[in-house]
Copies of this chain bind each other. A is one copy, B any other.
Amino acid sequence: MAPATLNPTSRLLLGMIQLGKRSGYEIKQLADISARFFWNVSYGQIYPELKRLEEAGLITGEDEAQGGRARRVYSLTSAGEQALSGWLRDPAALTYEVRDEGMLKLFFSDSLDPAERERLLRTMRARHQEVVDRLAEIEPDAADKGSGPYLTLRLGLGFHRAMVELCDELAAEPARR
């Protein structure tokens, strides 16, 4: 059986499951607090993809209902471990996609007056500051969760702090010709 190509979401799923048995719900929670700033997922992808991964033999699910509340937790099969490991070690180019509407507006901002442009820069600044605040909040716990999560947190914090500074810098400069 040829190893099914992992789509982007399934890589996140396999990784999250490797971090410990997980339900779709838990994966979503964990992704939202610690990975959302570089990778987003929605339930609409998670549940169908978990099914597909199980059918493909990369994960196995166990029903673990608590009382009348349904709950299904997954763990990696050895094929799943292999698939994850193969992806992690794959030297192929890393995809990198950004869609930043603030930057797009700034790019076209020559038709705005200076005050409107400054407002835009302040909005962008605020958004990055929010991420900084959220990440700074979870930083104390992050060290326990393994160095991978900790490294990404450090990068995220550094990046968004740099953006905050840059926005301040540009907003402070006098209007350019």
Contact = CB atoms under 8 A, between A and B. Distances in A.
A15 interface: yes
Contacts of A106: 148, 151-152, 155
Interface string A75-91: 00000000011011101
A163 to B, nearest CB: 6
A39 B148 contact: no
A97 B159 contact: no
Given A99-B38, A108-B148, A162 B170 contact: no
Contacts of A149: 107
Interface string A56-83: 0000000000000000000000000000
A127 B96 contact: yes
Interface stretch (A47-55, A109-117, A132-140): A109-117
Tier of interface size on chain A: 35 or more
A19 to B, nearest CB: 8
A141 to B, nearest CB: 15
A166 interface: yes
A153 B87 CA distance: 33
Interface in A91-111: 91, 94-111
Please give me the 10 A-B residue pairs with the lowest Cβ-Cβ distance, nearest first: A162-B162, A15-B108, A38-B103, A94-B101, A147-B176, A109-B148, A38-B100, A110-B146, A94-B102, A158-B166
Contacts of A91: 123
Query: Which of A91, A152, A167 is the most central at the interface, judged by chain B CB atoms within 10 Å of its CB?
Result: A152
A89 to B, nearest CB: 7
A8 interface: yes
B152 A159 contact: no
